[in-house]
């Protein structure tokens, strides 16, 4: 599956992975696309906001706050971006 701009799920996940594993708290060995940001990776709500902001900047999209607050895994973000034909 890919976006209108040609981004594949694998491309999106790879880009998201890079900034999530760069969080100081994140154990790179625990990261998977299905890892829960809070339970598995130990990230707090501030980190979740930072992730949403990074996604917006990385893919040149705007994510409504109510949507961003519900992201719990990288897979959820990937699926959201795949619905956005304007994602770069």
Catalytic residue IDs = 44
61 neighbors 87 (Cβ within 8 angstroms): yes
Q: How far is CA 84 from the centre of its chain?
A: 13
Rounded Cα distance between 64 and 78, Å, is: 15
What are the tokens at 86?
Answer: 């304007």
């Amino acid at each position: 599956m890919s976006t209108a701009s040609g981004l594949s799920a694998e491309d999106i996940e790879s880009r998201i992975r890079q900034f999530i594993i760069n969080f100081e708290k994140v154990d790179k060995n625990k990261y998977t696309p299905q890892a829960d940001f809070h339970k598995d990776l130990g990230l707090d709500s501030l980190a979740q906001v930072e992730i949403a902001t990074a996604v917006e900047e990385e893919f040149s999209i705007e994510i409504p706050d109510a949507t961003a607050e519900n992201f719990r895994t990288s897979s959820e973000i990937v699926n959201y971006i795949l619905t956005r034909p304007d994602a770069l």
